[in-house]
Structure 1
Amino acid sequence: MKKLGLLRLFICLPLIALIIPNVTESLINPNYKVPIIHVITGAALVVAIGICTIIIYYLQKQQLKVQYQRNKN
Protein backbone atom coordinates (compact mmCIF):
# COMPACT_ATOMS: atom_id res chain seq x y z
CA MET A 1 0.00 0.00 0.00
CA LYS A 2 2.93 2.31 0.70
CA LYS A 3 4.21 1.72 -2.84
CA LEU A 4 0.82 2.66 -4.28
CA GLY A 5 0.85 5.88 -2.28
CA LEU A 6 4.28 6.76 -3.63
CA LEU A 7 3.20 5.87 -7.16
CA ARG A 8 0.16 8.13 -6.80
CA LEU A 9 2.38 10.95 -5.54
CA PHE A 10 4.86 10.63 -8.39
CA ILE A 11 2.06 10.45 -10.97
CA CYS A 12 0.85 13.84 -9.70
CA LEU A 13 4.17 15.50 -10.48
CA PRO A 14 4.01 15.04 -14.29
CA LEU A 15 0.34 16.00 -14.21
CA ILE A 16 1.19 19.28 -12.51
CA ALA A 17 4.07 19.77 -14.94
CA LEU A 18 1.57 19.50 -17.81
CA ILE A 19 -1.13 21.68 -16.28
CA ILE A 20 0.94 24.70 -15.15
CA PRO A 21 2.47 25.62 -18.54
CA ASN A 22 -0.84 25.09 -20.37
CA VAL A 23 -2.79 27.24 -17.93
CA THR A 24 -0.13 29.95 -17.96
CA GLU A 25 -0.01 30.02 -21.76
CA SER A 26 -3.82 30.09 -21.92
CA LEU A 27 -3.90 33.12 -19.61
CA ILE A 28 -1.25 34.96 -21.61
CA ASN A 29 -2.45 34.01 -25.08
CA PRO A 30 -6.23 33.63 -25.48
CA ASN A 31 -5.80 31.92 -28.88
CA TYR A 32 -3.62 29.15 -27.42
CA LYS A 33 -4.86 25.64 -28.13
CA VAL A 34 -3.83 22.91 -25.69
CA PRO A 35 -2.06 20.12 -27.62
CA ILE A 36 -4.16 16.96 -27.81
CA ILE A 37 -1.25 14.87 -26.54
CA HIS A 38 -1.28 16.94 -23.33
CA VAL A 39 -4.99 16.30 -22.90
CA ILE A 40 -4.58 12.55 -23.48
CA THR A 41 -1.56 12.33 -21.18
CA GLY A 42 -3.31 14.31 -18.46
CA ALA A 43 -6.41 12.13 -18.70
CA ALA A 44 -4.30 8.98 -18.49
CA LEU A 45 -2.50 10.30 -15.41
CA VAL A 46 -5.80 11.20 -13.73
CA VAL A 47 -7.12 7.70 -14.45
CA ALA A 48 -3.93 6.16 -13.00
CA ILE A 49 -4.29 8.30 -9.86
CA GLY A 50 -7.93 7.22 -9.58
CA ILE A 51 -7.04 3.53 -9.92
CA CYS A 52 -4.34 3.84 -7.25
CA THR A 53 -6.78 5.64 -4.95
CA ILE A 54 -9.45 2.95 -5.38
CA ILE A 55 -6.94 0.16 -4.73
CA ILE A 56 -5.61 1.91 -1.61
CA TYR A 57 -9.19 2.40 -0.34
CA TYR A 58 -10.01 -1.27 -0.97
CA LEU A 59 -6.85 -2.50 0.77
CA GLN A 60 -7.46 -0.27 3.79
CA LYS A 61 -11.03 -1.53 4.00
CA GLN A 62 -9.80 -5.14 3.90
CA GLN A 63 -7.21 -4.39 6.57
CA LEU A 64 -9.87 -2.88 8.84
CA LYS A 65 -12.03 -6.01 8.41
CA VAL A 66 -9.13 -8.22 9.43
CA GLN A 67 -8.41 -6.06 12.48
CA TYR A 68 -12.08 -6.11 13.45
CA GLN A 69 -12.20 -9.90 13.16
CA ARG A 70 -9.08 -10.25 15.34
CA ASN A 71 -10.48 -7.95 18.01
CA LYS A 72 -13.85 -9.66 17.91
CA ASN A 73 -12.36 -13.07 18.76
Structure 2
Amino acid sequence: MRKLILLSLFPPLVTIIILSCKSNQVSCDEINPPLKIPCTKEYRPVCGCNDKTYSNPCVASSFGISEFTYGQCN
Protein backbone atom coordinates (compact mmCIF):
# COMPACT_ATOMS: atom_id res chain seq x y z
CA MET A 1 0.00 0.00 0.00
CA ARG A 2 2.84 2.43 0.83
CA LYS A 3 4.49 1.72 -2.52
CA LEU A 4 1.27 2.57 -4.31
CA ILE A 5 0.99 5.89 -2.46
CA LEU A 6 4.64 6.74 -3.16
CA LEU A 7 4.28 5.83 -6.82
CA SER A 8 1.18 8.00 -7.15
CA LEU A 9 3.01 10.99 -5.62
CA PHE A 10 6.11 10.66 -7.81
CA PRO A 11 4.78 12.11 -11.13
CA PRO A 12 3.34 15.30 -9.57
CA LEU A 13 6.59 15.91 -7.68
CA VAL A 14 8.65 15.53 -10.84
CA THR A 15 6.33 17.92 -12.66
CA ILE A 16 6.66 20.53 -9.91
CA ILE A 17 10.46 20.27 -9.98
CA ILE A 18 10.59 20.66 -13.75
CA LEU A 19 8.27 23.67 -13.74
CA SER A 20 10.24 25.39 -10.98
CA CYS A 21 13.45 25.00 -13.00
CA LYS A 22 11.91 26.67 -16.04
CA SER A 23 11.01 29.79 -14.06
CA ASN A 24 14.71 30.36 -13.22
CA GLN A 25 15.79 30.59 -16.85
CA VAL A 26 17.37 33.78 -18.12
CA SER A 27 15.15 35.92 -20.30
CA CYS A 28 16.76 36.99 -23.57
CA ASP A 29 13.50 37.77 -25.29
CA GLU A 30 13.29 41.49 -25.88
CA ILE A 31 10.03 43.11 -24.80
CA ASN A 32 8.73 45.56 -27.37
CA PRO A 33 7.54 48.12 -26.42
CA PRO A 34 9.75 48.26 -23.33
CA LEU A 35 8.36 48.48 -19.81
CA LYS A 36 7.87 52.01 -18.50
CA ILE A 37 10.69 51.99 -15.95
CA PRO A 38 12.20 55.37 -15.04
CA CYS A 39 15.86 55.12 -16.11
CA THR A 40 18.58 57.74 -16.03
CA LYS A 41 20.30 58.84 -19.24
CA GLU A 42 23.68 57.79 -17.83
CA TYR A 43 25.75 56.12 -20.54
CA ARG A 44 27.21 52.93 -19.08
CA PRO A 45 26.80 50.45 -21.96
CA VAL A 46 25.93 46.82 -21.36
CA CYS A 47 25.77 43.90 -23.76
CA GLY A 48 22.55 41.94 -23.32
CA CYS A 49 22.41 38.16 -23.58
CA ASN A 50 20.71 38.77 -26.95
CA ASP A 51 23.92 40.45 -28.27
CA LYS A 52 22.40 43.95 -28.35
CA THR A 53 24.03 46.96 -26.71
CA TYR A 54 21.90 48.99 -24.27
CA SER A 55 22.88 52.38 -22.87
CA ASN A 56 22.79 51.19 -19.24
CA PRO A 57 21.57 48.26 -17.09
CA CYS A 58 18.23 49.93 -16.36
CA VAL A 59 17.41 50.31 -20.04
CA ALA A 60 18.36 46.66 -20.65
CA SER A 61 16.05 45.62 -17.82
CA SER A 62 13.21 47.69 -19.24
CA PHE A 63 13.48 45.62 -22.42
CA GLY A 64 13.22 42.42 -20.36
CA ILE A 65 16.91 41.53 -20.54
CA SER A 66 17.85 39.95 -17.23
CA GLU A 67 21.48 39.01 -17.95
CA PHE A 68 24.16 41.22 -19.45
CA THR A 69 27.85 42.09 -19.31
CA TYR A 70 29.28 45.58 -18.97
CA GLY A 71 30.61 47.11 -22.16
CA GLN A 72 29.42 47.26 -25.73
CA CYS A 73 28.67 44.11 -27.72
CA ASN A 74 31.26 43.13 -30.31
Scaled to the shorter chain, the TM-score interval is 0.3 to 0.5
Q: Going by fraction, where is strand more abundant, 1 or 2? A: 2
- Structure showing greater radius of gyration is 2
Whichever structure has more helix as a proportion of its residues is: 1
Larger RCO: 1 or 2 (CA < 8 Å, sep 6+): 1
Give the TM-score normalised by the residue count of structure 1: 0.35
TM-score, normalised to structure 2, is 0.34
